[in-house]
Structure 1
Amino acid sequence: MGLFNKFPSFLGLEFKDDMVKIIELVHQKKGYQLRKAVYSPLSNGLIQNGHIHDMDGLRKMIKPLIKGEKFKSKKAVLALKSEQIMLRTLKLPKLPKKELEKVILLELENNIQLPFSDPVFDYISLPHQNSEGTEQELLLVIAPGSVVRQYVQLSKLLGLKPICVDVHSLAILRLMKWIRKELPTTFMSVNVGHHGVDVSIYHQGILRLTRNISLSSSDYLIKSPAITDAFSAIHYLENSDGLKSYAQDLGHEIERVMNFYLFTLNNRDQNLDEIVLCGEAPNISLLGEYLSTRLQVPVQVEDWTGYIENQTDMDIKDMSVFSVPIGLGMKEVSR
C-alpha cells in the first residue's frame, strides 16, 4: 500500500474474567476494515470481577498473543465492565469546559455518594435545557480511578499506547449507531458472558442504565464434558436442555431490570422496543428465540458483518463475539 493510501488503525481490547478479545480496526474514508481479530482464554484468578489480581501473570499470557498476531497499530482503546461504572445525571449552569469540570468535581466530592474514593469521569450532554437556555443536563459516567489505572498500566506493559478507557455498553451503542440507520427509541443490549451478563438500557440514543447479572452458564452444565472457556460452555448449552433453563432464568433477571427502569425510575411512558443480543456465543439465535418468547419483546442478534469489511481469516459465524472490541476500535472517529 502506498504512503498516501494508508489509514489509521486502532486496537480494541475487551477483558473479561476468563478471556481477552483483541481486534485491529482500520478507519477508512467511508467505513471500517477489520484487519485482525483474536480471542484467548485467561487462567483463573488473573482477573476477578473486573479487577486485575495478577498483573505480571496477565502480561505473560497476553504479550505473546499480541506479538504473534503482528498488529500494525499500538493505539489501544480498553473497556471497563459495565458493573464497574456508575451513571448519574446532573443539571448544571452552562459553563466553559474547564469550569464545568471543576463544578462536576465539586459535585462528586460533596453531593454524590460513591462506593469508591478516587473517581474519574466523563460526561455526555443530554438534549435538555431550561427555557432561558442557561442550564444543561449531563450524564456522568463515573469509574474508580484505581481500576482505570490498572488497565492503563497493563496496556503499557504490553507495549501498547492506551488512548482511551471506555465502557462495554457505550462500545455496543457506538457499533449500533454505525450499522443502523435509525435506532429503536428505547432498547436494551444483553452482552452474554460465561460468568455474567451485562444488561444496558438506552433511550433516544443515550445510555440510561447498566447492570450486571451474576448468572454463570457453568451452573447449567449438568453432566457436561470438560468445559474450559465461555465458548465451549455456550456450545454445550446450545445442544442440551441447559440452554432452555439458562434462558428462562436470564429472562427472569432481564425482566427485573426492565421493571426497575420502567417503574422504579419512573419511565412508565416508555416501551422497550427491542433487545439486542451479543457476546460469547458463536450462534445465539436459539437463545434469542427463547428470550423473545419469554419476554414478549423482539430480540435481535446484531449482525455487523455486512457493514464492516472483514479481512481476518476467522470463520464469519464466529464474529458476533467481537461486537464490544469493534465498538471500542471505533472510538476515535465519528460517522
Structure 2
Amino acid sequence: MVSVSPVIGLLGGGQLGRMMIQAAHRLGLQVVVLDPDPKGPAAQIADDVVVGDYADRAALRALAERAQVFTTEFENIPSASIRFLAQYGPTYPDAASVELAQDRRKEKTLFAKAGIPVGPYITLNSLSDFEIVKRSHFPAILKTAQLGYDGKGQLSVNSLDELSHAFQELGSVPCVLEKKLSLKAEISVVIARNAQGHVAVFPAAQNEHRDGILHTSDVPVTLPQNVVQQAEQHVKTLALKLGYVGVLALEFFWVEDLGLLANEMAPRPHNSGHYTMDACPTSQFEQQARICAHIPLGPTRLQFACRMTNLLGDLWFPDGPNKPMREPDWSQLVPPDDAWLHLYGKTEPRPGRKMGHITQKLGDA
C-alpha cells in the first residue's frame, strides 16, 4: 500500500508561513492556510485558504476538514485553538509549548526549571508591585508579559518615575522589568525535533538588532566554541523538557560577567534562521514541513559563512516616510555574486515592516 502524505494545516499567513509552504511544495506536500487576510504572503501561494479568525471555531473546523496535521508560523495563535485542532490531528508544536512562549513570566520560570540561566528581572502585575523595585534595578527595560515582538510592547526606563509612566503607557498590563545588561553579543540557536525524538541543530547565528528589530545574522558566530556548545545544549534541554515537536529557537545574551543568558524562545522557525534557506542543505522551513509529514530530518551543516540582512519597508521610502514610495534599486542593494534575495509578497511597505531578506556568502564554512 502506498502511503499518502498528510495535508498540512497552517495557522498564520505571514512570511514565515510563505517560506514553509515553498519548502513543503518542493517536497510535494500540500498546505492549507487559516488566516484573516486572504491575500497575505502565505495565502498567495497556499494550496487552499480558509479565511477567518484564529479563534473562530467554524474556521478551525473548516481547516480540520482539509488537513490532517497542524502547525503555526507565529506564537500568538490562541493556545485554545491549537488544543481544539488537536482533536483532529497532531499539532506541531503543541498548545502547552505555545502557551509558555506567549507569556514572559511563564517562559522565564520554565528556563529556571530547565537550569537555563536568565538575566535579573522582576515581575510587575500591578502598581502595587512597584514597592519591590529598587534603584539598583535601573537602567532597565519594561516589557509586556504578553504579545510583544520586534521591539513592540517594551520601553526603556531609568527611574521609578519613568517606570510608572511606562507602565501606564503600556496599558497597565502585567509586565516584566529586565535589568539592562552590558551585552558582548547576541546569539540564537534553532533546532528541529521530530515525533521520534530525533534532533537536528542548526549552526548558531550572531545577531545585531536595530530599534528592537533584527538587522543582521552572521554565521558562524565569533564566540568561543564551548559557549556555542552550551547554547546548543540549553536548546536541546528545553525541547526535551517540553517534549517539544517542531522547530524551536532560543535567543541568548552573552554577558562578560554573567556568561550565557537566555532571552526568549520562539516555538517556530526564527528570523535569525533564514540563512538556512541558502547556506544549509536543509532549511529550517523544510525541517518544519518534514516533521509535519513524518519525513526524517535533513542535514544542517553550514556550507559557507554568510550574513542574512533583513529588508525593512523603510527602503521603499528613501526620501522619508511621508514622501512617495518607490521600489528599491535592487542592483545597488543585492551584491552581484553569491547573494540571494527573498521577497515576501507584501503589497504595503511600511517603516519597520519586514519585506524580505538577503543572504550573502562571506567565505568558506
The alignment's TM-score, normalised by the length of structure 1, stands at 0.28
Between Structure 1 and Structure 2, which shows a larger proportion of helix residues?
1
Taking structure 2 as the reference length, what is the TM-score of the superposition?
Answer: 0.26
